[in-house]
Structure 1
């Protein structure tokens, strides 16, 4: 009897250890798709970024040959993008961020299965690059949110379909990893997931988000090396007078950003006059008309308003923007026109470029202050005013320019701008776009279900 008890005890210990090893192996098997998805997001973000720059260069090669080539390239490119979208990639429509936020709502299983597929991700990349190569004011940083979420969701579909919380975690993690890899800004990716998509944020998703951001960031780092989106900026607020720039940039940026948000939401809801009906009945021709308007604006501005705005914003930050005094206004108009064309594209980088343009204007009102400092505050002020996401605004500008010494001024300006924006626009940009998107999706979901119901 005494020998029997020790043998049974040993068997129990061995069974416990085997069970522990099995559960550990099962846990690792569940983590493999998470790691693979994060690596793929990093790779796609790198390809997307390089493709964006190549598309930009390709357009300007034609523009340098003759500015009037844009009168053909821009309308034809936007019309082609809309035709391809309606014909092959209807699930790739939109900017990407509103769709990702809407997918976090309860009961959005059909939306996730529609918008977060590898086909939708491929279409989003293709259509955005066509828009950028046409000279439209688009960025790839917004679409990479949906692309990252689609990759993460697709590679973890079984777990996502079983648990609604897991589905939200994958979408959050994919979107955060996309932003982090696109900007080489891991903190911005995490803050974006919490602040912009935070209505459905679950603390249990924090480890998945952190792991995805790290792996995606390391992937782009391994390919492209460490870099700052707008380069390294050497500036600091080292004078008492410099603190005057915070309320000025915060108030002006908040007012202009709030007005831009209000206009964008109005244009998303309904275009004025007969334009709304034209866009619904003749989407391809309407996109071509928008492209023609963008080409005219670009020619008037001597080519400065074409593209994402990255290079112009960098020139302004580096102090080479003497000929760009009207850039902020013209770039904002081109962003509006690009948006109403309905071609998929983002507004992250263009909004920072618009903010740099208005920052340049504000620096002329304060010639006793360093121009670069005022431009950075103008960027974060406009971005926070338009998106009403102050944390994302100051973190993303700080990481993109390596200006950790400006953290307090950037933070204060973003907070002032977001507060002022509430006086102008009742809803934040992405919140308002989600409210407009959900009824449209419900109507589309009914149309998708109809053929299945007939059979």
Structure 2
């Protein structure tokens, strides 16, 4: 009996060490991806600075090349990556094939082509892609476990996706919440402890290498009082409406597959990406270049008071992000959604003096818009709270996120869950065989 217990304990510790090693590796890869993305954005800025005509050539060319590479060598990396991870957790539980959703090949393609797309100035983020990258690494670690039944593959994919959020945002707590709220909707009691530890470890690797609250700095917030109620209500309703519209537009190609535009996109994906790149360049030119890239730097400068955003900043970012998604490049919507919300808050804050200033209302709108788009209100609130070190704003952030979520859900279904259907074989086969019908 003692020998049996010793073997069991040895297996458990070998399992933990394997998972923790994979978690550290996932964190390192996500951090490296972040640095590569920053280099790509910096290179784009240098190329376009003082030469606005460059974007009209560079952005379409990058878009077409990225989509061609995606379809030729890395099918499965297009878009955010979160829908692929959701689909993978469901398919692997059914014994389905998931190598085109999560694998080392997918991780490499997501990083290389995703960073390359940012070189073209597309309005896309790396957080969603980081989810797919980390999930791929954690799934690959399953074959290295001392016992194949120690953990289910679906649980490893879920933990990897959440670790990607933790490492990408430097927010371990948000990664845990994201695993429960969006990816898996549950954590099995038997394995939750070791899986949560892998999520936290990936986040800590990111914090150790990049520093804590790396993006927006620490917001200076006045003590919260009942006066915040009106800004929370206004921000929640407005962000809910705009976020719901954003989500509906993201799902439009899925729900209107026979619409001529989407039929042409399916038949000519590379040319379509070139047109989208041209539109992104036009929007960027019309918006003084504020809609290019992830939006982190612009939002950070606006929050600190170093940059006064024009009234159209949220509109151009909104449009550029939608068009970037339609193009089919690998890229997420987390960062651009935060940028849309931040720009909206900066524009409207003078109309709401009770908000406590520009930066606090920007934070509320960032959480509200992200919650409306993803319909994951707790994740949105915690991501913003951790990114700004704004624990004193937690009640306001939670409230605005839940209000925005309620409003958004009346306009559009859950974004990632519905996008995941496109990666489920049964759903694709049904649409292929379904008779034509009015939308």
TM score, norm. by length of structure 1:
0.89
CA shift at 1:239, angstroms? 4.8
Mapped pair 1:71 → 2:56: yes
CA shift at 1:237, angstroms? 4.3
Match of 2:26? 41
2 CA distance for matches of 1:441 and 1:92? 19
Match of 1:29? 14
- Pair 154,191 (structure 1): closer, same or farther in 2 beyond 3 Å: same
- Secondary structure at the aligned position of 1:103 is classed as helix
Contact 1:82–1:283 (CA under 8 A) maintained in structure 2: yes
2 CA distance for matches of 1:86 and 1:199? 31
- Secondary structure at the aligned position of 2:193 is classed as helix
Contact 2:14–2:145 (CA under 8 A) maintained in structure 1: no
2 CA distance for matches of 1:344 and 1:278? 20
Q: Which runs of 5+ in 2 are unaligned?
A: 433-439
CA shift at 1:443, angstroms? 4.4
Is the deviation greater in 85-94 or in 396-405?
85-94
Q: 2:275 aligns with which of 268, 272, 289?
A: 289
Contact 1:304–1:327 (CA under 8 A) maintained in structure 2: yes
- Pair 271,64 (structure 1): closer, same or farther in 2 beyond 3 Å: farther
Q: 1:371 aligns with which of 342, 358, 365?
A: 358
Contact 1:228–1:399 (CA under 8 A) maintained in structure 2: no
- Pair 151,419 (structure 1): closer, same or farther in 2 beyond 3 Å: same
Match of 1:86? 71
- Render the CA deviation track for 1:205-264: whole Å, top value 9, x for unaligned: 421331112221232233333343211111134454333111111111111111111111
- Pair 365,215 (structure 1): closer, same or farther in 2 beyond 3 Å: same
- Pair 114,158 (structure 1): closer, same or farther in 2 beyond 3 Å: farther
Aligned residues: 429
Contact 1:105–1:200 (CA under 8 A) maintained in structure 2: no
- Render the CA deviation track for 1:44-100: whole Å, top value 9, x for unaligned: 111011111111100000111411100111001011111111111113233210111
Instruction: State which structure, 1 or 2, has the greater radius of gyration over its C-alpha atoms.
Output: 1
Contact 2:309–2:343 (CA under 8 A) maintained in structure 1: no
Mapped pair 1:358 → 2:344: yes
CA shift at 1:419, angstroms? 1.1
CA shift at 1:29, angstroms? 2.1
Q: 2:88 aligns with which of 86, 103, 114?
A: 103
Mapped pair 1:316 → 2:284: no
- Render the CA deviation track for 1:332-360: whole Å, top value 9, x for unaligned: 00011001101111001110001111112
- Pair 225,200 (structure 1): closer, same or farther in 2 beyond 3 Å: closer
2 CA distance for matches of 1:161 and 1:118? 21
1 CA distance for matches of 2:429 and 2:256? 17
- Secondary structure at the aligned position of 1:424 is classed as coil
- Pair 228,197 (structure 1): closer, same or farther in 2 beyond 3 Å: same
Alignment of 1:227-266 (within 5 A): 227-266=213-252
CA shift at 1:421, angstroms? 1.4
- Render the CA deviation track for 1:184-221: whole Å, top value 9, x for unaligned: 10000000001012335433342133111222123223
2 CA distance for matches of 1:365 and 1:436? 42
Mapped pair 1:304 → 2:290: yes
Higher helix share: 1
Q: Which runs of 5+ in 1 are unaligned?
A: 1-15, 447-455
Match of 2:211? 225
2 CA distance for matches of 1:193 and 1:367? 36
Contact 1:269–1:436 (CA under 8 A) maintained in structure 2: no
- Pair 187,91 (structure 1): closer, same or farther in 2 beyond 3 Å: same
CA shift at 1:316, angstroms? 2.2
Contact 2:15–2:146 (CA under 8 A) maintained in structure 1: no
